[in-house]
């Protein structure tokens, strides 16, 4: 049985300008021990998919569909049941390391709280376990750091504290939402190493949400590319990067400046990211797609593609067109 099984997840928000559908009819499964990379630009629905799964949507948001995890449907579970799962079997690490920690609580105490609540440890035992976990994530001088407030730590250390906190109950699933976006590259490299270690040593399943293709390239086993609230391509990491099947994935790869080569002119994807309130009927990427045909007026389903992955694109001849062009 899959560790996580998302079926027909749709997330809507009521806004003053009308309803916005942030995630549309999304389905995927995830196996134990794997790392699934979720790639997309702002507004692609990559964060809201997992906020909905964890019952963390804003008040004006509603989710429909099924999110099956450990025998429970997270979308219909009550607050009590969710609280027993969140931070325990499934933990989340957020992008904003400053606002995601409680500012008026010492780091050690807010970490210990997790163990007291979920595992019923005594305060002293929880504190020791928290310090051990800080050591595990390679925070130097963990006893002293545990007695500090979040603002006394650097961004990299705060992100480490968040990861340490998320690992306290040895979760089966770690959801990392842009865990390194606010960090410098040298710090980012250390945090990614840490996530890799957690995945390999503890067999923790990891969902890595990011806009940075380089980050998923180093860590993910499979990659889902999202656009306008839908998965447009899903496949093995090697295949996604070596032979992307969807024009959007191809475009993203071509327009990412790379340190290891100097192309003369950077390729671009024309136009702007979509406005979710004014999506075209049919394929949402069609207005920006160089391969648009009449069939794109109808929304393409996610279907098997060459290379063993899935794609939501009406055409099958794009690879040969690209080969002829290059």
Which positions ≥6 away from 76 have C-beta within 8 Å? none
Q: Is 280 in the site for another protein (CB under 8 A)?
A: no
- How far, in Å, CA of 48 to CA of 35, rounded? 19
Can residue 243 be called a binding residue for another protein (CB under 8 A)?
no
Strand partners, 234: 224, 310
15 lies in the binding site for another protein (CB under 8 A): no
Token representation of residue 313: 């694109």
Q: Exactly one of 38, 75, 174, 192 binds another protein (CB under 8 A); which one?
A: 192
Binding mask 35-64 for another protein (x = CB under 8 A): ------xx----------------------
Token output for 286: 């069609």
Q: Which ranges in the chain belong to alpha helices (H)?
A: 46-53, 79-85, 107-119, 123-136, 142-146, 155-167, 185-202, 213-219, 237-242, 247-255, 318-325
Query: Taking the complex as a whole, how short is the minimal distance between the CB of residue 121 and another protein, in angstroms?
Result: 30
Q: How far is CA 317 from CA 140, 285, 311, 321, in A?
A: 54, 17, 13, 6
Q: Is 265 in the site for another protein (CB under 8 A)?
A: yes
CA–CA gap between residue 39 and residue 45 (Å, rounded): 10
Q: Is 146 in the site for another protein (CB under 8 A)?
A: no
CB of 55 to another protein, least distance (A): 28
Q: How far is the CB of 211 from another protein (least distance, A)?
A: 6
Interaction of residue 214 with another protein, rule CB under 8 A: yes
Residue from 156, 171, 229, 235 that binds another protein (CB under 8 A)? Answer: 156
Residues found in the chain:
326
Task: Please tell me whether residue 152 binds another protein under the rule CB under 8 A.
Answer: no
Residues that bind another protein (CB under 8 A): 41-42, 140, 154-157, 184-186, 188-190, 192, 211-215, 217-218, 237-238, 241, 251-253, 255-260, 262-263, 265-270, 272-273, 288
């Amino acid at each position: 049985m899959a560790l996580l099984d998302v079926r027909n997840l749709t997330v809507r928000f009521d806004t003053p300008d009308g309803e916005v559908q942030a995630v549309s009819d999304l389905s995927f499964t995830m196996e134990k021990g794997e790392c699934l990379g979720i790639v997309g630009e702002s507004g692609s629905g990559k964060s809201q998919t997992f906020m909905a799964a964890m019952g963390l949507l804003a008040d004006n948001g509603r989710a429909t569909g099924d999110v099956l995890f450990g025998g429970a449907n997270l979308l219909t579970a009550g607050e009590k049941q969710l609280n027993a799962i969140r931070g325990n079997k499934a933990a989340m690490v957020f992008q904003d390391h400053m606002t995601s920690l409680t500012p008026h609580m010492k780091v050690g105490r807010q970490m210990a709280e997790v163990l007291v609540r979920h595992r019923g440890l005594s305060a002293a035992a929880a504190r020791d376990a928290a310090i051990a976990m800080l050591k595990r994530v390679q925070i130097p001088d963990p006893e002293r750091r545990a007695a500090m407030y979040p603002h006394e730590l650097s961004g990299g250390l705060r992100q480490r504290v968040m990861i340490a906190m998320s690992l306290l109950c040895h979760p089966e699933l770690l959801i990392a939402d842009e865990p390194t976006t606010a960090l410098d590259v040298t710090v980012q490299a250390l945090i990614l190493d840490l996530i890799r270690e957690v995945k390999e040593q503890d067999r923790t399943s990891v969902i890595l949400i990011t806009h940075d293709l380089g980050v998923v390239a180093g860590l993910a086993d499979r990659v889902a590319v999202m656009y306008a609230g839908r998965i447009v391509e899903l496949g093995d990491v090697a295949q996604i990067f070596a032979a992307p099947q969807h024009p959007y994935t191809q475009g993203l790869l071509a327009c990412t400046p790379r340190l290891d080569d100097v192309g003369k002119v950077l390729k671009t994807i024309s136009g702007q990211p979509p406005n979710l309130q004014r999506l075209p009927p049919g394929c949402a990427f069609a207005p920006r797609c160089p391969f648009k045909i009449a069939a794109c007026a109808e929304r393409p389903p996610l279907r098997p593609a060459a290379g063993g992955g899935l794609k939501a694109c009406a055409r099958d001849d794009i690879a040969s067109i690209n080969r002829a062009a290059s």
